[in-house]
Amino acid sequence: MSTLPVISAVDGSDDSLRALEWALDAARRREAPLRVVHVREYAAWARPEILAAVRPEPDQVLAQVCGRLEGRADLPVTEYAALDGAPTAVLSGLGSDAQLMVFGSRGRGGFASLLLGSNGLAAARDAECPVVVVPRPGREVHDSELVGPGPRVVVGLHTDSPNEDALAFAFAEAARRDARVQVAAAYPWPVQAGDFVPAPVVDQDAIEAETRTLADGFVAPHTERHPGTRVELYVLPGDAAGHLVAASEGAELVVVGRHRRRLLAPARMMGSVTQAVLLHAASPVAVVPPDGEER
C-alpha cells in the first residue's frame, strides 16, 4: 500500500513558498512523498478542453518551484501537478488522497489586508485530511504561561465535545519533532447570564476540577500510546481562542479541531475558536477533521 502524500499548494507568492518549506519538512518527517500543486483558475463558463488548447506552455509557477528546489539533497520523493479549475473547490477535493495539506496564510489573490486567504480557509473547512496553514512571520500575540523553552506542540481540548483525532494528531506530531505536548482545556469564566436572569452562583474551583478530570481522561490513552512524549495539561478560565493564540508564540504547531456535522447543520464548520486561531496565531496551525469525517 502506497503512502499518501503531503500536498503543498503553491501560487508563486512568498506565503506559499514559505508553506512549501514547511511541507517539505513535514514530508521528510513522515517519510512520505511531496506533491506540489498549482491550480490555474478559470472562469466558471470556461471548459477544460478549451483551456487545454490555449495553455500549451509549461506552468510557470511550478517551474519556479522546480528551480527553487533543484539540487537540494534533502528532498523527499517530489511530484508536481498543474490543475485547472476553481482553486477553493479543487484544492479542498484533493484532501481525500492526501495525509496532510499545507497552505500559506495568504496567496496572490484577495485584499492585502486579509489575514487568511480563501483557499486555505476553504480547505481547512472542507478537506478530508488535516490542513496546516503557515502564517507570515512577525505576528504579535499576548504573553502566556504556556510559552517556554524547547519545542512545543499545543492542542486545544474541548471537554464537552473532544476531537480525538486532533489529540492523536498533536501527539504524533510532537513525537516526530521530539517536542512536548501542551494540552489547553478552557472552561467558561465568569459564567454569563441573560439580561434579565441573574448569574448563577458557581464554584470556580469545582468547575476547574471537573474540567481537569475530564481532560485527564481524554488525554490518558494518547499518553499511553506515546510514553516518551512529555505532556503538560493546562486548565484555563475564559476564552479558549485567546489562550491558544497566546500559546502559539514560539510553538512548533497549534492543533485545533473542526466541528462535527450535525443532523440539522449538515455543512462542514470550523467554529469560532478554530477560525480565530487560524487568523491570529503566530505559529503554523493544523485543523483536524473530527472523528468519523476522515476517509
Tens-digit pLDDT profile for residues 202-237: 788 899 999 999 999 999 999 999 999 999 999 999
**CA gap 139, 160 in Å, rounded:** 30
Residue type, 116: L
pLDDT grade, residue 116 (50/70/90)? low
The reported pLDDT for the residue numbered 179 is 97
Side-chain half-sphere exposure of 209, counting CA atoms within 13 A: 5
Residue 105 has pLDDT above 60, yes or no: yes
Q: Residue 158 and residue 236: Cα distance in Å, rounded?
A: 12
Number of separate helices (H) and strands (E) present in the chain: 9, 10
Displacement of CA 51 from its chain's centroid (Å)? 33
Q: What is the mean pLDDT of the chain?
A: 85
Q: Long-range contacts for 257-262 (Cβ within 8 Å, ≥24 apart)? A: 257/156, 257/158, 257/163, 257/165, 257/166, 257/287, 257/288, 257/289, 257/290, 258/124, 258/125, 258/163, 258/287, 258/288, 258/289, 258/290, 258/293, 259/290, 260/161, 260/290, 260/291, 260/292, 260/293, 261/293
Torsions phi, psi for 270 (to 5 deg): -100, -35
Q: Is 185 in contact with 159 (CB distance < 8 Å)?
A: yes
Residues 20 and 38 sit within 8 Å (Cβ to Cβ):
no
Q: Is the pLDDT of residue 113 over 70?
A: no
More confident residue, 148 or 241: 241
Domains of the chain (ranges, CATH numbers)? 6-134 (3.40.50.620), 152-288 (3.40.50.12370)
201 grid coordinates: 452562583
* Band of residue 74 on the pLDDT scale cut at 50, 70, 90: confident
Residue range 123-142: mean pLDDT, rounded? 91
Give the separation between CA 187 and CA 263, rounded to whole angstroms.
26
Lowest mean pLDDT across 37-46, 129-138, 275-284: 37-46
**What does the DSSP assignment read for 24-55?**
HHHHHHHT--EEEEEEE---TT--HHHHHHH-
Stretch among 104-113, 171-180, 210-219, 251-260 having the lowest mean pLDDT: 104-113
Q: What is the pLDDT of residue 269?
A: 61
Question: pLDDT tens across 165-186, in order?
Answer: 999 999 999 999 999 999 999 9
What span, in angstroms and rounded, lies between the C-alpha atoms of 32 and 25?
10
What pLDDT, on a 0 to 100 scale, did the predictor assign at position 126? 92
Range 258-277 average pLDDT: 67
pLDDT at residue 200 in the model: 64
More confident residue, 93 or 1: 93
